[in-house]
Amino acid sequence: MASATVCVSYHFDAVSTWLWAFDAWDMPTRHSRGVYGADVGTPRLLDLHDEHDLPSTWCIPGHTIESFPAACEAIADAGHGIQHHGWTHRGPSSYESREAERADIERGIESIVALTGERPTGYASPAWDFSEHTLDILLELGFEWDSSVMAADFTPHYLRRGWRAPADAPYERGEPTDIVELPPSWERDDFPPFTYTWAGPHRMGYTDEEMIFRKWRDQFDWMCEHVDGGVYVLTLHPQVIGQAHRIGRLEELLEHMYSRDGVEFERMATVAKRFREQNPPEAQ
Ligand SMILES: [Zn+2]
């Protein structure tokens, strides 16, 4: 039996996700989907984790921290990890300059420090978007780990910088940095299959929900059978997974996971720290 780790991560975007995507709708009806995440989804999820005594990691934009302070304080008070997800929820590659991108990340750090008293050690980029500057900015600001890059599925590794991707020459991967990557996946994210929008670039929703939960469970089972020390990062959004017809299925999935021998639930910061200790960057 291979040992395995589950990291349940919540991207608590709340209203922020509706301000920079999906035609940037500035309407209370659109905002309300994010307010639901703060007012309804988050308390339900905190109750679920409390009931089963499972740690989790919340990647929270500063916009959410300052818009919904009580919900964020409840997350912190419950002992869950709180990590960086931008101040806005704007994709890093959309900034007009390196300075503007860095200023947003610095502002997000300040919001988290004001909430928890500690700097975040990890970063998950909004919509897993990365600019040519993002990794260097994370290094400058002392981040220790990231969860945005999908070059592996269940295996932590060190992110590389200095990649080159000319269309008319081979791809160059670059050199390892000392930032640990805990790979997420669109295949383990609730937003694309479950959330309906009626503007580009995203229109999904009304999918076979049983099939999606089965896909997540199948990935977990395969990892446990085939990847020794695998790390399973599940990315969920309170405004999506907190809906009544999903939270029961999430509970079943979590029970399936923690009932298996050798499986631990951990905060992402804990997993990244252990990987760094067992695989020192200077030894790479
Ligand atoms: Zn997000």
**Residue corresponding to tokens 């080159």:** 164
Give the other-Cβ count within 10 Å of 43's Cβ.
15
Cα(211) to ligand 1 centroid in Å equals: 23
Distance 5 CA to ligand 1 centre (A): 22
Alpha helices in the chain, H assignment, sequence order: 28-36, 42-52, 62-67, 69-77, 98-116, 134-140, 191-194, 209-226, 238-241, 244-258, 268-278
Binned at pLDDT 50, 70 and 90, residue 202 comes out as: low
Domains and CATH numbers, the chain: 4-283 (3.20.20.370)
The DSSP annotation for 213-246 comes to HHHHHHHHHHHHHH-TTEEEEEEE-HHHHTSHHH
Task: Name the amino acid, one letter, at 50.
Answer: D
Q: Give residue 236's pLDDT band: very low, low, confident or very high (50, 70, 90).
A: very high
- What stretches of 116-182 adopt beta strand conformation (E)? 122-123, 145-146, 157-161, 175-181
Q: What separation in Å is there between the alpha carbon of 225 and the centre of ligand 1? A: 30
pLDDT tens digits for range 55-80: 999 999 999 999 999 999 999 999 99
Phi, psi of 117 (to 5 degrees): 85, 0
Ligand 1 center to residue 169 CA distance, Å? 33
Q: How many whole angstroms from 237 Cα to the centroid of ligand 1?
A: 8
Beta pairing partners, 59: 11, 83
**Token pair listed for 144:** 């220790």
Q: Distance from the CA of 107 to the center of ligand 1, in angstroms?
A: 16
Mean pLDDT confidence for 151-160: 97
Contact 162, 135 (CB under 8 A): no
Torsion angle in degrees (nearest 10) through CA of 112, 118, 119, 120: -70
163 CA to middle of ligand 1, Å? 25
Closest CA to 230 of 154, 156, 157: 154
Model pLDDT for residues 25-34, shown as the tens digit of each residue: 678 888 999 9
Kindly give, in sequence order, each residue whose CB lies less than 8 Å from that of residue 32, ignoring residues fewer than 6 positions away: none
Report which secondary-structure segment, H or E, holds 153: none
| C-alpha 282 to ligand 1 mean position (Å) | 32
pLDDT at 2: 47
Nearest to 279 by CA among 175, 134, 176: 176
Is residue 94 pLDDT above 80, yes or no?
yes
| Distances, alpha carbon 13 to alpha carbons 108, 119, 197, 226, 245, in Å | 13, 19, 16, 33, 20
pLDDT above 70 (res 22): no
User: 94-102 — which CB contacts under 8 Å span 24+ positions?
Assistant: 94/20, 94/129, 95/131, 98/131, 98/133, 98/137, 101/131, 101/133, 101/134, 101/137, 102/133, 102/137, 102/140, 102/141
What pLDDT is stored for residue 26 in this prediction? Answer: 75
The answer to whether residue 235 scores a pLDDT higher than 80 is yes
Output the CA 96–ligand 1 centroid distance in Å. 20
Distance 2 CA to ligand 1 centre (A): 31
Cis peptide before 201 (omega within 30 of 0): yes
What is the Å distance from ligand 1's center to 11 Cα?
5
Q: Residue 210's Cα: distance from chain center in Å?
A: 22
